[in-house]
Amino acid sequence: MQIATHEDCAEHRPVPGHPERPQRLQAAIEGAAALGARFIPVTVNEPDVLRAVLTAHDRTLPDRLRTAFASGTRTFDSDDNPISEGTYRAALAAVAAAIAAVEEIEVRAAVRVWVPVRPPGHHALRDRAMGFCFFNNAAIAAEELLNRGIGPVAVVDFDVHHGNATQQHFWDRSEVFYLSVHRYPFYPGTGAGDEIGSGPGLGFTRNYPLAAGAGDDTYKSALASGLEDILSVLTPAAWVISAGFDAHRDDPLGGMNMTEAGFWAIGELVGQAAGKSPVVAVLEGGYALEALSRSVRTFLAALDGSVTS
C-alpha cells in the first residue's frame, strides 16, 4: 500500500468549528500509516496540475478560485464553501496527489494507492464549487488513468452523500462506470435509483440510495449488488474509490449507523472485485476524527489484504 498526499492539503482552513478542518488530513494519514504504508513523493507543479484539472472543470473555476481570497470574499460559490488564504494551494495539492497516485500505477505497477487529501471533491461541478468541494479529485484521477491508456475505469463512491458532480461528469460515457451507495433523500438531492446515465453511458451509472440510519449489513448488501452491476457490463482496468467515512455512526453529519466492521467489509468487497487491477482510493468525507482514522485503517487493511500473489 502506498500513500500519496501533500502537506499543503492542510492549508485550507475554513472558519473555526467547520467540520472540514485540517485535522482530518492527519487522521486519514494515521489510519494508513498504522498499516506500514509507504509514502510516495508528490510534487505540486501548477501548470501540470491545472492541465489535469481542466479534464474535469471549466477554466473559469481555477481562475476564480485563485483570485477569490484576494478579492475579500470568505465563501466561494455557496455558503457551504468557506475559503482561506491557503485554499487554492490545498486544492492544487489534492489534485497533485491524485496525479502522483496514477503515475505510481503507470510507472511502478502499484496496485493500491491511498490518497488522503482535502478539500474533498465529489460535489465539485465542472464550473462551480459546492459541498466543501473545489476540484473533483476522483473524476480527475479517472481521467488521468484514461489519458494514460489505463481503462475502462470503475468509480465507486461510498460517501454518505451522493457524488453528484462525478455522476454528472461521466453521465453519458461508457468508458467509466459510476457506482454510488449513499443516504437518500439527503444532500445534494441527487442519486435516486432511476438515475442510470444516458446516451452511450446508459446503464453505466448505478445508484443504491439508502434510508437514514442504515448500518453495516445494509451497506454491504447494496455495495455487493452494485459491484455485480459493474462487472456484468465492464472489465475495469483500474478502479477509483471516492472513500467517504461519514456514514460512520459517530459522524456528526451523516445520520447513518456504520462501524469499522462495515468499512472493513467495503474494503474487502472492493478488493475482491478489483483483484489485481490497480485501485486509487481518494478521501472524501468523514468528520469524526477518531472514527475516521479507525475506519481508514480497517478499510485499507481489507482492501490491501485482498491482493494475492
C-alpha cell at 117: 487529501
For residue 113, the surrounding DSSP H or E stretch is: strand 112-115
C-alpha cell at 13: 482552513
Per the listing, cell 451509472 goes with: 205
Contact between 97 and 52 under an 8 Å Cβ cutoff? The reply is no
**Is residue 168 exposed (0-12), middle (13-18) or buried (19+ Cβ within 10 Å)?**
middle
Beta-carbon neighbour count of residue 267 at 10 Å?
A: 28
SS (HEC) of 160-222: CCCCHHHHHHCCCCCCEEEEEEEECCCCCCCCCCCCCCCHHHCCCEEEEEECCCCEHHHHHHH
Beta-carbon neighbour count of residue 217 at 10 Å?
A: 12
Whether 12 is a known active-site residue: answer no
Contact between 283 and 20 under an 8 Å Cβ cutoff? The reply is no
Helix pair angle (60-68, 46-53), 10° resolution: 130
Catalytic position from the list 123, 162, 169, 248: 123
DSSP 15: S
Catalytic positions are 123
